[in-house]
Chain A
């Protein structure tokens, strides 16, 4: 799994609430049997018209905005369990997603792929959106070790929570399977109970 420690990057702002997994990656693109290539269909129907021409008003089609941090409104990733949503975001070049609230399954899927979901307060989220309104290139600094996210231009900083086990997985690039496989004897003992 991809490792993550720190990142300083401009952001792509998507100030919409309840962004569901069908918007992130519509079901008709779930027919692939590998993990690669979902990025081109990320936010497909917001990004492209029916004839596949880009919708200029969508933020990802505006060259002013680019960065490895996606910032979105609350309840991001609600809906289906499709891990393709996390794969698509990562494949499109994002390493961090920031929102004031994440759906459970999406959050777990992101963590299992080395895509860092950061939950910030409503107020801090609004500060990020304001900073990007003022300067589209306004960078954010994400420090996983110290669990902080900072708006570089204003110096505003907030701490975020992450399960200590998942944190060490991200920093070291381990995944859950490595961890559980090491406990196989315990599992077999449990089955005999």
Chain B
């Protein structure tokens, strides 16, 4: 029987399937961090249970950590307590921790791939909705709640109903200045913040195949922003080349064996998806969001859709979002002054993102009205950026290169955007208050964010790229 990629991986991990019950799904790798794990460890203690497979569990501290002076004690008491708690819990339950100061520390969805922990065909979970990122390697990866973290601790399994499958094909060639972030913001703007709920999405088509692994991770990362629990891309030579030689990747005979298996991981030609959508890469412009959910995005030169054009039931929520942002409907955002630029998060903090930004800002300087934070995804990304001299370029441009963590994506640490201020952010959510109370977030690609940093306002980066060439 022909199967989709999701079905192939799912079926290979079903411990038990019984009518009327969710499947018992075996989990190969469990990633944990300080925020969603403490109550799960507590649950184990209450039940008197150990972690069933500690060597399939990897921990890091990312959500809550400062991005300056990481080697000093964390100033904020509750954050320090939570990070210390993770250290204690990992020691007690025998889990490997890449905590602050460790050369492997970083955002959980950045370190998994760069360490070769994320591999094709795996099932992976984490108490974080952006776990979908790992799907870029052809893995089933999804976010779970804390009760489920406890479940995986206790049993290395999850009770989970098989998801519906959706294929999203993006064909053709992207225009200049348009990247993976624009593709995914465009798709979400087309199908809404709930359009993928209940599905696992497989991204395919020539425009997806042409992407690097970093770019594929950006796409899969934001699957949850349209409600899809997971998103994945069939592994290919790009995937294999990325994995080979990484810290925990299979090597020698193990590599050959793994590779042979990975090459079977694709959706069969006649596999049936529950839904199929197709988009044209050439139609995608640099994207920007204007509202308070990631579905409220548009091409950067477009005008904000009119409130009157919204369905009757949705007008109230729509207008509320525009009021929060301080935008008028039917307005263009081009030229709108911005206060902050944040380049980071599990969506866009990898070395390729930093290289793209550095390449663009070389010999340029940020506008005086803008504060720019670049927060690398991991210690390894930070080190690599320094090895390549990107830190010097950022410094010359007035961009502050910080230390790794989730940072201003969710403002759990000190990196908050002040009330009322506008931030062009490469992160994944523009919810009210996400980056700080009453902060206003405009989601965009690293390139569009860099352009805003340089001009101090919302700018169509394509025009700046043309100037250089002209």
Contact = CB atoms under 8 A, between A and B. Distances in A.
Contacts of B15: 183, 186-187, 190
Contact of B154 (A15, A33, A181): A181
Residue of A105, A113, A175 ringed by the most chain B CB atoms within 10 A: A105
A158 to B, nearest CB: 18
Given A23-B431, A181-B154, A186 B24 contact: yes
B148 interface: yes
A153 interface: no
B412 A30 contact: yes
B212 interface: no
B193 A18 contact: yes
Interface residues of B, number: 68
Interface stretch (B100-108, B311-319, B337-345, B379-387): B311-319
A45 B416 CA distance: 15
Given A20-B431, A113-B147, A74 B35 contact: no
Contacts of B20: 164-165
Given A20-B431, A34-B42, A180 B154 contact: yes
A176 B158 CA distance: 8
Contacts of A78: 193-194, 227, 293
B36 to A, nearest CB: 7
A184 B52 CA distance: 10
B193 A75 contact: yes
B197 A104 contact: yes
A74 to B, nearest CB: 7
Interface stretch (A54-62, A80-88, A130-138, A139-147): A80-88
B282 interface: no
Contacts of B148: 108, 112, 176
B317 A16 contact: yes
B285 to A, nearest CB: 24
A16 B36 CA distance: 27
Contacts of A15: 316
B159 interface: yes
A177 B129 contact: no
Contact of A105 (B24, B143, B157, B320): B143
A32 B49 CA distance: 22
B38 A33 contact: yes
15 contacts: A18-B317, A20-B293, A31-B412, A33-B81, A34-B38, A35-B39, A73-B313, A75-B227, A81-B129, A83-B39, A83-B127, A105-B143, A108-B148, A177-B47, A181-B49
A190 to B, nearest CB: 5
B145 interface: yes
Contacts of A104: 197-198, 227, 229
A109 B419 CA distance: 31
A184 B155 contact: yes
Given A18-B293, A22-B434, 12 more contacts: A17-B314, A22-B432, A27-B410, A33-B42, A45-B432, A50-B419, A81-B127, A81-B128, A112-B145, A112-B148, A180-B159, A187-B156
A186 B150 CA distance: 19
Contact of A109 (B145, B150, B157): B145
B429 interface: yes
B168 interface: no
A124 B173 CA distance: 45
A17 B320 CA distance: 10
Interface of B: 15-16, 20-22, 24, 26, 35-36, 38-39, 42-43, 47, 49, 52, 63-64, 78-79, 81-82, 85, 127-129, 131, 143-148, 150-151, 154-159, 161, 193-194, 197-198, 224, 227, 229, 292-293, 295, 313-314, 316-317, 320, 410-412, 419, 429, 431-434, 437-438
Nearest to A74: B194
Contacts of B198: 104
A77 to B, nearest CB: 10
Nearest to A76: B194
A82 B412 CA distance: 13
A112 B159 CA distance: 11
A171 B291 CA distance: 40
Contact of B229 (A32, A84, A105): A105
Contacts of A126: 313
Contacts of A190: 15, 26
B429 A34 contact: no
A103 B21 CA distance: 21
Contacts of B314: 17
A73 B313 CA distance: 9
A173 interface: no
A180 B229 contact: no
Contacts of B151: 176-177, 180
A108 B145 contact: yes
Contacts of A191: 26, 156
A161 interface: no
B123 to A, nearest CB: 12
B143 A109 contact: no
Nearest to B410: A27
Nearest to A26: B433
